[in-house]
A = this chain, B = another copy of it.
């Protein structure tokens, strides 16, 4: 196996200096048309491929961007990654994707790897809520936060969905369809997202002069099984009548539906379930899940675009909160028959 050709080889082949080849390869300012042609055909002939490692080394820019998400096989984060990737491609940079697996130890390790590869910047969904964010600055690369945890670090730019607005959309919908206070299925207590969610719900009702302290809540893991278990506990204490559930994520909502079904209850006839996320699986369950869709792809896209601005020296701190939208499917019953008639008429 022979060594890969460099600009020096191209220069030799074309009978010019390596400076000239370099000029041709990077745009071709101040080179005669004859030489451009000469160099390009020489390069093609010996199969020259630009070495970005050397370019990065010299220029200090690697053209690499890092993104650390909790789990790339989680559909929400996969969608974020997809959006990030498209944005990165449009600015000619490549994306290094890492999964922290919700473990701050892994997060630390990945961040270290990113710094060592000299990424131009990185986007991060922070797991370790504890630290103060200054540790990120120490890494020496521009960074941007993803998601709710960003609120802990007021001095850092971030991109995420607007939880308050999203919760509002869901509760507006529930209210309009005749549902009083729903019961909540929340996620693990340790995550900040849980607090954000419940605060948004409380504020919503307080602003409407409803006392939210009566809302029963159940905590669970952010998984289908967590939702099942939480739902089972809620059903045990349920007095009867139509039960309305608002779950803090779609997987738990799906779990709630599955649990209800396995206890012989029909959704939406006996139980209404509102989700929160907008994962694709919600479309195929029975009934299809009515939920609040987060703009996952757009979050990914915007995070990279903002990061690029940061890299290019725009130091302004921006906290971008993208709007969620209601995805109306079939898991919430309309308890207002007259409105239903008005709507269908």
Contact B53 A117 (CB under 8 A): yes
A33 interface contact, C-beta 8 A: no
Q: Which of B4, B96, B115 contacts A49 (CB 8 A)?
A: B115
Q: Which residues of B contact A341 (CB under 8 A)?
A: none
Q: Which residues of B contact A213 (CB under 8 A)?
A: none
Q: Which residues of B contact A75 (CB under 8 A)?
A: 73, 75, 78, 280
Contact A117 B94 (CB under 8 A): yes
**A–B Cβ pairs within 8 angstroms, 19 of them:** A49-B115, A53-B57, A64-B117, A72-B78, A72-B81, A72-B82, A72-B97, A73-B75, A73-B78, A73-B79, A89-B98, A94-B96, A94-B113, A224-B284, A254-B284, A257-B284, A258-B284, A281-B283, A284-B284
A56 interface contact, C-beta 8 A: yes
Binary contact readout A8-37 vs B (1 if CB under 8 angstroms, 0 otherwise)? 000000000000000000000000000000
Residue of B nearest to A64 (CB): B117
Q: Which of B82, B94, B116, B139 contacts A51 (CB 8 A)?
A: B116
A47 interface contact, C-beta 8 A: yes
Range class of the A interface residue count: 35 or more
A156 interface contact, C-beta 8 A: no
Contact B281 A53 (CB under 8 A): no
A95 interface contact, C-beta 8 A: yes
Binary contact readout A91-104 vs B (1 if CB under 8 angstroms, 0 otherwise)? 00011111100000
Q: Which of A75, A78, A140 has the most CB of B within 10 A?
A: A78
Q: With A72-B85, A75-B75 as known contacts, state yes or no: A53 contacts B50, CB within 8 Å.
A: no
Q: Which residues of B contact A63 (CB under 8 A)?
A: 117
Interface residues of A (CB under 8 A from B): 4, 47, 49-54, 56-57, 62-64, 71-75, 78-79, 81-82, 85, 89, 94-99, 113, 115-118, 138-140, 224, 254, 257-258, 280-286, 297
Q: Which of B81, B258, B286 contacts A73 (CB 8 A)?
A: B81
Contact A49 B79 (CB under 8 A): no
Q: With A75-B78, A78-B73 as known contacts, state yes or no: A85 contacts B64, CB within 8 Å.
A: no
Q: With A224-B284, A284-B224 as known contacts, state yes or no: A53 contacts B118, CB within 8 Å.
A: yes
Q: Which of B47, B62, B71, B281 contacts A281 (CB 8 A)?
A: B281
Task: Tell me the minimal C-beta distance from A90 to chain B in angstroms.
Answer: 12
| Given contact pairs A254-B284, A281-B283, a sample of 13 additional A-B residue pairs in the complex whose CB atoms are under 8 Å apart | A47-B138, A51-B116, A52-B118, A53-B53, A54-B57, A57-B57, A64-B117, A72-B72, A78-B78, A82-B99, A96-B96, A224-B284, A280-B281
Q: Which residues of B contact A257 (CB under 8 A)?
A: 284
Residue of B nearest to A55 (CB): B116
Q: With A94-B113, A118-B53 as known contacts, state yes or no: A99 contacts B85, CB within 8 Å.
A: yes
Residue of B nearest to A300 (CB): B73
Contact A62 B53 (CB under 8 A): yes
Contact B94 A95 (CB under 8 A): no
Q: Which residues of B contact A96 (CB under 8 A)?
A: 94-96
* Alpha-carbon distance A55/B78, docked complex (angstroms): 31
Q: With A94-B96, A284-B254 as known contacts, state yes or no: A118 contacts B72, CB within 8 Å.
A: no
